[in-house]
Amino acid sequence: MSDILAIAEHRQGELRDVSLELITAGVELAEETGGDLHVAVISGDVDTYAEQLNREGVDTIHTVAYGEEFNHDVYTQSVTQLVDSIGASYVLGPNSVNGLDYLPAVATRFDVPLVTDVVGLETNEETLTATREMYGGKVETTVDVEGTPAVVTIRGAEWPVAEGAGSADVEAFDAEIDEDAIGSSVNGFEEVAGGDVDISEADLLVSVGRGIDEEENLELIEELADALDATMSSSRPIVDAGWLPANRQVGQSGKVVTPDVYIAIGISGAVQHVAGMKGSDTIVAINTDPNAPIMDIADYAIHDDLFDVVPALIEQFS
């Protein structure tokens, strides 16, 4: 009868989708263990969040009304106290930038197992088995997790969002926050992906990745974008290298795009990139590696060298 505690995530007044995905993962796990599903929401307008989190299968929602935005010290302290109070065997959180900013600390504080970026979970009475990728998605692994409470972060968009109205009890949890132990303070937020071009508005995106090799080769992709009257975007390494501005970046940390056609050129398709473009109507991949993860979501593919294919494609439109 192992109980589960799932920790919701919100930012700037909005509950993030992964919170409702966590409930789905939590409900599945609770069915296997026969235990209860507890959901916690910390900081901000917790009462409104609690209403949104009240979905089918949730037994209790714990609200911690302290502070507004995410602070890792407040989250670490609150979650630690909640786990003790509930006696939870499994702690589920998002494998997000903020999830990874406090859940490893929770696991360390309890000296218990931590498994991150999980894409599948099952349990019997004794062992939790997690499925996760390695080597940038080239392989999947199953990992047995020994010991409780175990802390698990789940990858976004792997579980569907929880639907159906719930009948959970909503309880205010009186976390004792030790303010002397808070050694970090959030001073604000900054949008970085602004600028002249909004790639999320484009019908046709010509998107370039690491396969382009050199900055001067970008001209080839620009030429293609011109020939097709398309907008040019890119994967992360191109922006990291400073070859294109941040407003061109597709992916988790960049923009989410849903064009009619997305042409991925020399992009391997890391999960962070795919998160930003998998909603495109049609995906075309040009890549020498037929096993690249991008091929799993491509509708059309050319397994060939972009330096051969792109000039030939430009030729088709000139």
Partner 1 sequence: MKILVTVKEVATVDDAFEIDGTAIDERYLSADLNEWDDYAIEEAVQLSEDGVVDEVVTVTIGDEETEQTIRQALAKGADRAIRVWDDALDGVDLLDVGAKVAILEAVVGAEEPDLVLTGVQSGDDSFGATGVALAEAVGTQWAAVVNQLDLENGADVASVHRELEGGLEELTDIDLPAVLSIQTGINEPRYASLRGIRMAQRKELDHQTLADLGVDSEAVAGDLELMSMYEPESESDTTVFDGSADDTAGQLAELLREKGVAQ
Which tokens sit at 66?
């302290």
Backbone angles phi, psi at 145, to 5 degrees: -110, 120
Give SS3 for 156.
coil
The answer to whether 40 contacts partner 1 (rule: CB under 8 A) is: no
The answer to whether 279 contacts partner 1 (rule: CB under 8 A) is: no
The answer to whether 210 contacts partner 1 (rule: CB under 8 A) is: no
CB of 221 to partner 1, least distance (A): 14
The answer to whether 116 contacts partner 1 (rule: CB under 8 A) is: yes
The answer to whether 113 contacts partner 1 (rule: CB under 8 A) is: yes
Query: Which helix (H) or strand (E) covers residue 181, if one does?
Result: none
d(CA 229, CA 216): 21
Give Cβ neighbours of residue 88 (< 8 Å, ≥ 6 apart). Answer: 2, 3, 4, 5, 38, 82, 149
The answer to whether 301 contacts partner 1 (rule: CB under 8 A) is: yes
Q: Which of 84, 178, 198, 300 binds partner 1 (CB under 8 A)?
A: 300
User: Interface residues for partner 1 in 43-102 (CB under 8 A)?
Assistant: 70, 72, 76, 95-98, 100-102
Which tokens sit at 7?
């920790």
The answer to whether 173 contacts partner 1 (rule: CB under 8 A) is: no
Q: Which of 47, 84, 146, 215 binds partner 1 (CB under 8 A)?
A: 146
Interface with partner 1 by CB under 8 A: which range of 59-67, 105-113, 164-172, 213-221?
105-113
Query: Which residue in 184, 238, 211, 183 sits closest to 294, CA to CA?
Result: 211
Q: Which of 192, 201, 213, 222 binds partner 1 (CB under 8 A)?
A: 192
Q: Are 178 and 77 in contact (CB under 8 A)?
A: yes
Q: Which of 68, 138, 160, 201 binds partner 1 (CB under 8 A)?
A: 138
Q: How many residues bind partner 1 (CB under 8 A)?
A: 101
d(CA 39, CA 77): 16
Which tokens sit at 244?
């294109």
The answer to whether 133 contacts partner 1 (rule: CB under 8 A) is: yes
Interface with partner 1 by CB under 8 A: which range of 33-41, 57-65, 129-137, 166-174?
129-137
